[in-house]
Amino acid sequence: MTVERRVGPRLRLPVLVAAGSATGAVELAFLVVAAVALGVSAPVPPAARVAARLTQRYAGRLVRLERGRLDRLLPGSELPAVDALATRRQVGYLAARLLPAALGLLAYAMLGVGLVLAGIVLRAVVRGELSLLDTLAQVAVGVVLLLLNVQALASVAALDVRMARRLLGAGSRAELARRVDELTSSRAGVIAAVDAERQRIERDLHDGLQQRLVALGMLLGRARRARDADRTAALLVQAHEDVQRAITELREVAWRVYPSALDGSDLGEVLAMVARRSAVPVRIRCDLPVRPDRQIETVLYFVACEALTNAAKHAAATLVAVEIGVREGWVRMRVHDDGVGGADPGGRGLSGLARRVAALDGRLRVTSPAGGPTTVLVELPCG
């Protein structure tokens, strides 16, 4: 599994602005060359078509570069996709981007001037040319200017992201239509998931519990007809054991319908109870500062149970790790096992869970190469 490494949170802002200023210089050169090429080739239609095609190609590449830069350095910024954008919109965005690029360059120039002045002050202090009061005054001024510079960098980054959302995003009607399509697909997925779950419950009741109750009735009939007291007692003991197993199976079926234990316990405690019944050792770490909504807990519960079941039945795993936490406005659960892998995300169980997650505007990703390991990652919005 490939692990994506991101820039640390404290470095994202200065790196974002610095990279934006660098790409702004490239975009300025592109716009100048494109304007000259289109203007010169305008009298010659074949040359004009070639120039327009090249402009479209490289404008798209630059816009995708900017989109990737903002998305990597500011995860969760929810920037729109670049595909299918008109060339005019792409070129317009690149032209508008020159403003935050220039402002970022200006902010770094001011920072450079501040560093030079700080060096001069430090040199004067070392030589004893400044009194203590003058030194403190210079430090106070430097701190204020540094804070203003940091605020300027933050403002440039916010302008950069807002401009990308505004100029690259779909219009309000298109966005509304897209959202309606998502909700329609999500509703159909939820209905299909509910039907699949009902069929699964029916199979569990018919193939498991019903057969056990039939056998129990036959066992009690034999005990009723038995004439030997010892034989009757043995049959009743066996019947009692079958009743206990039937109760356990009924409880498991009921939990697959609705995890009622969440009414009195949080998700970590409920999953700990599930782990104690698991055939595979399970390590759970639940770090939720605030208890999420009940529907989020329910979806996470079902995903964890399905992953544990798959690890025990199909993956030959020896350890399953469940990690739950909050990151950047998302509740994240990662279920990792050391089994043989090969899990099919399109299978009945995982696809049904994916529809449950999508119904809450969440994401489910399954990584399970042949030979293992298997990782199930769920991300749900906090609210």
pTM for the model? 0.47
DSSP 246-269: HHHHHHHHHHHH--GGGGTS-HHH
Neighbours of 340 (CB within 10 A): 17
Residue-level pLDDT, tens digit, the chain, 383 residues:
333 334 445 567 788 888 888 888 898 998 899 888 888 888 888 888 888 888 888 888 888 888 888 776 665 555 555 555 677 888 888 888 889 889 988 988 888 888 888 888 888 888 888 788 888 888 888 888 888 888 888 888 888 888 887 777 655 555 566 666 666 665 666 656 565 666 666 666 666 677 778 887 887 888 888 778 888 888 888 888 878 777 777 766 665 666 777 878 888 888 888 888 888 899 999 988 888 888 888 889 888 888 888 888 888 888 999 999 988 788 999 999 998 888 877 777 777 788 888 878 888 998 888 888 899 999 998 86
> Which CATH number, 3.90.930.12, 3.30.565.10, 3.30.70.260, 3.40.190.10, labels domain 260-381?
3.30.565.10
DSSP category for residue 60: H
How do beta strands 320-327 and 282-287 pair?
Answer: parallel
Token digits for 41?
């080739």
Picking from 189, 378, 376, the residue whose alpha carbon sits closest to that of residue 298 is: 378
Distances (CA, A) of 317 to 276, 281, 308, 314, 377: 16, 9, 10, 8, 17
Q: Give me the sign of the Cα torsion angle 135, 136, 139, 141.
A: negative
pLDDT of residue 7: 43
Q: What are phi and psi of 2, to 5 degrees?
A: -85, 130
**Is-contact 90 167, C-beta < 8 A?**
no
pLDDT of residue 187: 62
Distances (CA, A) of 153 to 103, 118, 137, 140: 9, 19, 25, 20
Would you list the domain boundaries of the chain?
7-169, 171-257, 260-381
pLDDT of residue 370: 85
| Rounded Cα gap, residues 4 and 277, in angstroms | 34
pLDDT of residue 283: 92
Q: What are phi and psi of 194, to 5 degrees?
A: -65, -45
pLDDT of residue 169: 66
pLDDT of residue 320: 92
